[in-house]
Structure 1
Amino acid sequence: MKQWLLIMILLTAWFTGTFARAQTGEYEYGTGLPRDLDELAVPDSDYPDWPLTPEAERYASIDGERMKQWVNRICAVSLKSRDDGNPYWGRLPGTPYDRMTMDLVNDEFERLGMTVQRTEFVIPDDWTPRSWAAAYRVGDEVISLQSVFPVGETAATPAGGVTAEAVWLGLGAEPDFLGRDVKGKAVVIYSSFVPGGRSHSASRRARLFYANQRATERGAAMIINVMGVPGDARFNPLGAPPARHGVPLVTINQDEGFRLRDILGSGRKVEVSLSLDIEIRRNVKTAISVARLEGASDEEIVIAAHTDGFFQGAMDNAAGLASGLEIARFYAAMDAAERPRTLLFMLFPDHHHGELGLKMFEANHDWDNVAVVLTLEHPSQTQLYWYNDDLMTSNAIGAFRWNALGSDRFVNVVRDTLRQFGVSIYTLMNNKPKLTRQAPGFHIIDHVIYHTTLDIPDLVPAEGLERSTRAFVSIIDQVNGMSLDELR
């Protein structure tokens, strides 16, 4: 019986896609994204302009609209990946879209007069889901889960798939499991952003409830995280329990999750079927690149950005790449004698895939000659709010997690300059630098919408790109007035 049910469910999911009115609007809960983007999108012109002080007027040529155009061009590579029929889509290492992104950015570096060196390397193993489908049966009705998405590094199902009775475990905290036998069940857990696409409450990363770990250890047949964001997005938070446990972990959006919750709340029995095929790609060939802009000395400013991204990856990390191109344009317009130090722009394609390229660069670079390292990640995002059952956008720029590593004087320069240019940061500094600890460095990073289909250009304000990039260049200019010893 279960084998017949699985076949029927998966055929429904694969070939009809809209069985049982799954996404017609009847089961929407609150205003949400991306389905209500027409209503919630904020035009770039609606964000308040941050005025430049007279001494900062030299940065007026740094243009948010130009950077936004680059964000759109880079996201177009991801959309081609989707439109070419890849279910696991984006700018992923070792794919044509990896090479397209690298070529797009490096061609611009070369157009600006920079020399580019590429270094190939191999990723030994790369987890890649190839196909998946899920649906559930309640009574005689079969309902496809259109938003189901496998969590990075999770286990595959057996070839015949898995069918199990669904149980709702709330937030998945220890009290939620009391008196509940979840062995062999499809464990459904509601997970809220804390604050974003990777750090969510059910994950081990959040250090809150350890819900997914607990369900795995207690023998669940599968785990379904209902991602607590109003709307119909897709989610790939990474960080699944180790695949050796054999328990597949998937996400669904809140619209579908709340419909499932309501059915379970009525006391009806629900059986979920899931099929998930995983390929471990072997010896994936890709490359890092370093673009060099000579300065008046051989001391260096290293600027790094990752090119890979899930889904459109507008904030993560098309925005970082766009900021890097604008920094390069600003300094390339000067004579070499006006640049006190040489600038290196390092691109790496595997931030979400082991960072072997970054580690290779770090291990082989001479850091004694580096004045500062700037890592460009997620430098602009619309401030979002959860407002009762709605998701609400605003015409504000979100605040950033941040780190600065170096002398007290350098850290103060970073903090004060970000404030001067209207870049809001968390009150407490994160203690994890990016790229390396072998030289002074700094970064800011927003981390709400990444690893989701909410990460779109509409939520990457040109004004935010402009503020952060002007601040970055001002910090570099101030760093260029300090010696290596003063920075350390």
Structure 2
Amino acid sequence: MSANASDPTADERHDTSVPDSEEIFSWVQDLTAYAARGTQTLDDRRSADYLCDKFREFGLTDIQVQEAESFNWHASYSQLEVGGTTFPHEPVMFSFDTGNAPFTTGPDGIVAPIVDVGDGTQDDFAQVDVHGKIVLFDLRFIMPRSALLEVGEFIYDPHGTLDPADLDTANPYVSTYEDVVGRAIKRGAAGFVAVLADYFDSDDIRTEYLEDITIPGLWVTKAVGADLRAATAHGTSKAVLRLDGERRATPARTVIGYLEGADTDTIMIQSHHDSAWDGGVEDASGTAEVLALARHYSRIPQAERPKTLMFVLMDSHWTGYSAHEKFVETFITAADLPRRIVANITLEHIAKQAEVGADGQLKVFDRPEYRGIFENVSPALKTVIDEAVTAQDLQRTIRLSADKLVPLIGELPTDADLIYDAGVPTISLISGPLYLYDKADTIDLVHKPDLGPVARAFIDIVNRVAQTPSELIGSGEQSAR
């Protein structure tokens, strides 16, 4: 293949098939015009149609859209009131999960006392009776950056920018939400109010789907949480919690296209095209990187592509990963497949760093968010990753062993989790900025200068994976899962 890992500057000058940051950013702009893409908008075809058009433009073959049964959740009305005072809030998406049907607390809502359980630990619940009541708790994010650093095998930070003060910041992907609400449901609570205690001053958060959240819930900011606690401190006022809406079946759409190689052994290059909001970072940026690699390799003759390349852009990232499950069943675990997926490359979240400022507002920095490359490949390919990161100056990047991390947290915290779990050797780039699930994730939070370098780094990586005998790509630990 044409890219030369030892001279990326020459590549950038002479290989016009590699899109630059401006061109990649133009695709981010196109995608963010489709706000709340995929299953977040009922029966949404816009981003899937756009991506099929781009694949056709680039000359990919066997372009297809695989549909999987998924759903759309929508709140039409919500209310939070104590003692006649209305408190600002947002519905907890996917709460009140009653299946594909309307849901309602009725015109009067749930009228009940609020019970404060603090952080919602087992000990906190043991001290109070929450049956028939509304549980108030502090949501905590529990995977700080420092936890990833502890299992990192390679860190590229040539200017020493890792700030110890930032390492306690945790992204919202791993939180106490499921455990606390599970305890509330088990003890008969009628509803819940979750205080975003580790967040900036926003309640516009949409976390991923969790099953069995059968009671209604609302988000409030840290400041509103303090006001609620003051209003209910004496335990004499009942609250009104109302949530009405519906959950309706809708298909998730995975867009797939191929560039045939000299061999049918296949490298899968993946991201997800759906979003909760505008999704500039999550995940227009990752989708645009997949398009960049598709455009580049489409200009290389088939004879110069040692392996087939399969470009995959998923849906249902927020609604239970049904698209991912169907993809695995169809293209990885099914018998007698015409192409064998021997490696996975996943690209997500080209993001600016952000922290909670001293004033509680989101403070954004014009530098890349700390990012990880989770992998379970051979020692030789680990070295290739490190060299590509260094050559393209992808600052603040950590390479981590997926096989070491997954036993600690139970899953690979990227869109590649089900692919990795199916035994495919994986190299997965991701960052987890604080605003990842928030309405604040607009196009201006994409770290634009990194778009081109990320594409070039992963061209180097894909080239070397393609040249590696398929049986030598993985770490050798896949069979242990």
Q: TM-score range by the shorter chain?
A: 0.7 to 0.9
* 438 and 59 in structure 1: CA distance in 2 versus 1, 3 angstrom threshold: farther
SS in 2 for 1:250: strand
CA displacement, residues 95-152 of structure 1 (integer Å, 9 cap, x when unaligned) = 35x31101112211211122252244341x63623423112133xx43142x312232
* 361 and 179 in structure 1: CA distance in 2 versus 1, 3 angstrom threshold: closer
TM-score, normalised to structure 1's length?
Answer: 0.75
Letter in 2 for 1:181: D
Aligned equivalents of 1:181 and 1:340: distance in 2?
Answer: 64
CA displacement, residues 252-291 of structure 1 (integer Å, 9 cap, x when unaligned) = 23343333244445x4754332222343424x34543321
Aligned pairs for 1:25-36 (under 5 A) are none
- Correspondence for 1:288: 254
Q: Which moved more, 1:304-313 or 1:416-425?
A: 416-425
Aligned equivalents of 2:130 and 2:138: distance in 1?
Answer: 16
- Correspondence for 2:238: 271
Aligned pairs for 1:333-344 (under 5 A) are 333-344=299-310
Q: Which moved more, 1:420-429 or 1:478-487?
A: 420-429
Aligned equivalents of 2:240 and 2:111: distance in 1?
Answer: 4
2:441 equivalent among 452, 455, 465: 455
1:142 equivalent among 78, 85, 107: 85
2:25 equivalent among 68, 92, 102: 68
- Correspondence for 2:106: 159
CA contact (8 A) 1:399 1:426 kept: no
1:114 aligns with 2:60: yes
1:418 equivalent among 383, 389, 408: 389
2:313 equivalent among 342, 347, 369: 347
SS in 1 for 2:398: coil
CA displacement, residues 434-477 of structure 1 (integer Å, 9 cap, x when unaligned) = 32444322102223332221222222211233333222111011
* 93 and 177 in structure 1: CA distance in 2 versus 1, 3 angstrom threshold: closer
Aligned equivalents of 2:72 and 2:55: distance in 1?
Answer: 31
CA contact (8 A) 1:295 1:342 kept: yes
Aligned pairs for 1:396-475 (under 5 A) are 396-421=367-392, 422-423=394-395, 424-425=397-398, 429=402, 430-431=405-406, 432=412, 434=417, 435-436=419-420, 437-448=422-433, 449-475=435-461
- Correspondence for 1:172: 120
* 313 and 154 in structure 1: CA distance in 2 versus 1, 3 angstrom threshold: farther
- Correspondence for 2:218: 250
SS in 1 for 2:34: helix
SS in 2 for 1:259: helix
- Correspondence for 2:74: 129
* 135 and 357 in structure 1: CA distance in 2 versus 1, 3 angstrom threshold: closer
* 239 and 112 in structure 1: CA distance in 2 versus 1, 3 angstrom threshold: closer
CA contact (8 A) 1:374 1:443 kept: yes
1:203 aligns with 2:173: no
Cα displacement (A) at 1:188: 1.5
CA contact (8 A) 2:261 2:309 kept: yes
1:305 aligns with 2:271: yes
Letter in 2 for 1:196: N
CA contact (8 A) 2:40 2:275 kept: no
For this pair of structures, how many residues does the alignment match? 411
- Contiguous gaps of at least 5 residues in structure 1: 1-51, 79-88, 205-209
- Correspondence for 1:33: none
SS in 1 for 2:323: helix
Cα displacement (A) at 1:321: 0.8
SS in 2 for 1:107: helix
Aligned equivalents of 1:279 and 1:381: distance in 2?
Answer: 33
Letter in 2 for 1:447: G
1:486 aligns with 2:468: no
CA contact (8 A) 1:235 1:252 kept: no
Aligned equivalents of 1:322 and 1:439: distance in 2?
Answer: 23
SS in 1 for 2:327: helix
1:193 aligns with 2:141: yes
- Correspondence for 1:223: 192
CA contact (8 A) 1:92 1:308 kept: yes
Aligned equivalents of 1:132 and 1:272: distance in 2?
Answer: 16
2:48 equivalent among 72, 85, 102: 102
Cα displacement (A) at 1:223: 0.8
Cα displacement (A) at 1:327: 1.1
Aligned equivalents of 1:273 and 1:465: distance in 2?
Answer: 47
SS in 1 for 2:353: coil
Aligned equivalents of 2:457 and 2:123: distance in 1?
Answer: 47
CA displacement, residues 17-66 of structure 1 (integer Å, 9 cap, x when unaligned) = xxxxxxxxxxxxxxxxxxxxxxxxxxxxxxxxxxx974453146442232
SS in 2 for 1:272: strand
* 179 and 340 in structure 1: CA distance in 2 versus 1, 3 angstrom threshold: closer
- Correspondence for 2:291: 325
Letter in 2 for 1:65: E
SS in 2 for 1:351: coil
Letter in 2 for 1:475: I
CA contact (8 A) 1:368 1:439 kept: no
Letter in 2 for 1:188: L
- Correspondence for 1:393: 364
Work out the percentage of aligned pairs sharing the same amino acid.
Answer: 22
Letter in 2 for 1:172: G
SS in 1 for 2:45: helix
Cα displacement (A) at 1:178: 5.1
Cα displacement (A) at 1:309: 1.6
CA contact (8 A) 2:196 2:219 kept: yes
CA contact (8 A) 2:266 2:310 kept: yes
CA contact (8 A) 2:270 2:313 kept: yes
